[in-house]
Amino acid sequence: MVAPSTAPLLTQTGGPLAARTDDLPFALTLDRHSPEPLHAQVARQVRAAVLGGVLPAGAPLPGTRTLARALGVTRGVAEDAYAELLADGTVQAEVGRGTRVRPATPALPAPVAPAAPVPAWLPPTGPLPVDADPPAGGLHFRLGVTGTRTLDTRAWRQAWAAAARAPVGGDYGDPAGERDLRAALAAFVGRQRGLAAGEQEVLVTSGTLHALNLIVRALLPPGSAVLMENPGYRAARQVFLDAGHTLIPGPVDEDGLIVGPQTPPARLAYVTPSHQFPLGGRMCLPRRLALLEWARTHDALIVEDDFDGEFRYDAPPLPTLASLAAQTGAAGRVLYLGTLSKVLTPAVRTGFVVAPPALRPALVRARTLLDFGHPLPVQQALCWLLAGGHADRHIRRARRWHAQVRAALTGELQGLAPHATLGGIEAGLHLCLHLQGGLQANALAAALAARGLHVSTLESYTFAGPVPEALLLGYGGLSAAQAQAGGRELARLIREQVQG
């Protein structure tokens, strides 16, 4: 708020006069050359503020002395203005409480402002590359959702209490992330994924997409070619397209990205080898080695998005591309992306990159220019959870929970072969139901939605060639009972379609 003027406005002679008091959220303007009396101008502007909702019902008005001093007018002008507002019912006055907007005064709807012009060269904004908010009600097999039922709420509260007790600094901190958190993340990825890394190789990010934007900004020359799984992660695809790069679709099967002598060169390959998104397959060891050889041959980088890498069920873990790189002559070519969104909750908005030493300075520079680093209280709370072993214990509980949910769902769907077969069930928090015999994914999805059951198809994830007929079933946010009920209804509909 602007402090009231100390100079009486009556001594000024030119133009309209404006003043603001500490008790009013808007400026009052008086024009002494107007034929409208000064008190009427005050009353009109206060009335307009009330009707427009600027002054809400019950809001106090400044006293007549305060108002008169702020406007540089006599007290009589302020008293006459209030008398007019009292007469028309805009305000009410009570002994000991002063003058207030009448509590029952309704505000008029705000006028609709005309659309502001935009520069003619501004390109149109495309749709968001994420699912729309789900409709209310029904059962939702949403992708990218994790449950928090197994989260230790006591440890969660203690972590944030520890962050609140930490000294409040006056600087921005390390843009790469605080050293203690980077060390905790390096130890965590070593325990969970067998990737040997030091804290000096870790960069804290705000999640996978944030990490991809840093990589695009820091490492890729303009107009680069990017090899990407097809079907693949559509939000990641949009990051590359929005940056002006060209995508090369890489075919995918149950063993992950198909790589061979026919694979064209590119500057970078983006893959999800632990649980291919969205088909769900795991990249087998020969494919991993072939991809590393491709990168070495074509002088390319690989972004290894370890999507759902912590959740494995019926199969042993496969070595990360980042850990294999040093053993195959491809050292320094793999950037490993991890996230705590599935480990804990997406609410923490925290991920990390394990980057080769030669690439890390460019990423730190890009992070500095973009937002100068991660919020310190978030880092302190996460460091407490990681260093204390709470995140590891949560993963073990969550893995058991999700295994039960997966078993309940697959138990209802396994008998649908050969009309529908399951894929991607060895890991992750979603599975892919491949359809055969003329079953159409979009038609099934629409029929399921009519029954209150919501699933996704591969349409928005495929950017080249025909769209595979399949349904995507995310079960990360469901209970075993919900997954079983949804799977039973889905199986019933497919049997009806086949028999009809």
Intervals of CATH 3.40.640.10 along the chain? 153-391
Averaged pLDDT score across all residues of the chain: 90
Binned at pLDDT 50, 70 and 90, residue 471 comes out as: very high
Contacting residues for 484 by C-beta, under 8 A, at least 6 apart: 408, 409, 411, 412
H-type alpha helices, 340-461 = 360-370, 376-387, 390-413, 441-450
How far from 497 is each of 13, 444, 483, CA to CA, in Å? 85, 9, 21
Identify the H or E element spanning 297.
helix 285-297
Note the pLDDT of residue 32.
Answer: 87
Task: Choose the weakest-confidence range: 142-151, 274-283, 405-414.
Answer: 142-151
Higher-confidence position of 314 and 374: 374
Give how far the C-alpha of residue 6 lies from the chain's centroid of Cα atoms, to the nearest Å: 49
Sheet holding 470-474, edge to edge: 420-423, 430-435, 470-474, 456-457
Residue 10 has pLDDT above 60, yes or no: no
Note the pLDDT of residue 8.
Answer: 35
Task: Choose the weakest-confidence range: 14-23, 171-180, 214-223, 246-255.
Answer: 14-23
For 108, the token pair is: 């008029």
- Residue 486 has φ and ψ, to the nearest 5°, of -65, -40
428 closest CA partner among 244, 287, 319, 272: 272
409 closest CA partner among 467, 344, 470, 477: 477
In this prediction, residues 374-390 reach a mean pLDDT of 96
In this prediction, residues 127-135 reach a mean pLDDT of 79
In this prediction, residues 3-19 reach a mean pLDDT of 38
Residue 161 has pLDDT above 90, yes or no: yes
Note the pLDDT of residue 24.
Answer: 74
Q: Is the peptide bond before 418 cis (omega within 30 degrees of 0)?
A: yes
- Percent of the chain as helix, strand, coil, to the nearest 5: 40, 15, 45
Intervals of CATH 3.90.1150.10 along the chain? 139-146+393-499
Note the pLDDT of residue 137.
Answer: 83
Residue 86 has pLDDT above 80, yes or no: yes
Identify whether the C-beta of residue 175 lies closer than 8 Å to the C-beta of residue 368. yes
Q: What is the pLDDT of residues 321-337, one digit of tens each?
A: 999 998 888 899 999 99
Task: Choose the weakest-confidence range: 124-138, 260-274, 301-315.
Answer: 124-138
Note the pLDDT of residue 18.
Answer: 47
Note the pLDDT of residue 311.
Answer: 87
In this prediction, residues 453-470 reach a mean pLDDT of 95
How far from 478 is each of 429, 437, 470, CA to CA, in Å? 10, 29, 20
Contacting residues for 71 by C-beta, under 8 A, at least 6 apart: 9, 17, 19, 28, 30, 42, 77, 78
Identify whether the C-beta of residue 280 lies closer than 8 Å to the C-beta of residue 461. no
372 closest CA partner among 168, 163, 166, 176: 176
Binned at pLDDT 50, 70 and 90, residue 123 comes out as: confident
In this prediction, residues 25-33 reach a mean pLDDT of 85
Intervals of CATH 1.10.10.10 along the chain? 9-101
How far from 338 is each of 303, 307, 443, CA to CA, in Å? 11, 7, 36
Note the pLDDT of residue 7.
Answer: 33
Question: What is the pairing mode between strands 256-257 and 246-253?
Answer: antiparallel
Residue 25 has pLDDT above 70, yes or no: yes
Binned at pLDDT 50, 70 and 90, residue 109 comes out as: low
Note the pLDDT of residue 11.
Answer: 32
Note the pLDDT of residue 374.
Answer: 94
At the topology level, CATH places domain 139-146+393-499 in: Aspartate Aminotransferase, domain 1 (3.90.1150)
Amino acid identity, residue 173? G
What is the distance between the alpha carbons of residues 14 and 30, in angstroms, rounded to a whole number?
A: 11
What is the distance between the alpha carbons of residues 124 and 218, in angstroms, rounded to a whole number?
A: 26
Binned at pLDDT 50, 70 and 90, residue 449 comes out as: very high
Q: Class of 153-391 per CATH?
A: alpha beta
In this prediction, residues 457-481 reach a mean pLDDT of 95
The CA angle 222-226-227, to the nearest 5 degrees, is: 170
The CA angle 371-372-374, to the nearest 5 degrees, is: 85
Beta bridge partners of 134: none
In this prediction, residues 197-216 reach a mean pLDDT of 96
| CB-CB neighbours of 352 under 10 Å | 28
Residue 41 has pLDDT above 60, yes or no: yes
Note the pLDDT of residue 452.
Answer: 94
Q: What is the largest CA-CA distance in the chain?
A: 92
Amino acid identity, residue 263? T
Higher-confidence position of 320 and 499: 320
What is the distance between the alpha carbons of residues 484 and 408, in angstroms, rounded to a whole number?
A: 5
Binned at pLDDT 50, 70 and 90, residue 3 comes out as: very low
Task: Choose the weakest-confidence range: 131-135, 449-453, 457-461.
Answer: 131-135
Task: Choose the weakest-confidence range: 12-21, 285-294, 347-356.
Answer: 12-21
Binned at pLDDT 50, 70 and 90, residue 21 comes out as: low
Identify the H or E element spanning 17.
strand 16-19
Burial of 33 (0-12, 13-18, 19+ CB in 10 A): exposed
Residue 5 has pLDDT above 70, yes or no: no
Higher-confidence position of 43 and 127: 43
Binned at pLDDT 50, 70 and 90, residue 6 comes out as: very low
C-alpha R_g of the chain:
31
* Cα first-last separation, the chain: 72
Q: Which residues of 128-144 are buried (b: 16+ CB within 10 A; e: fewer)?
A: ebeeeeeeeeebbbbbb
Binned at pLDDT 50, 70 and 90, residue 126 comes out as: confident
- Of 1.10.10.10, 3.10.20.30, 2.40.170.20, 1.10.8.60, the CATH number of 9-101 is 1.10.10.10
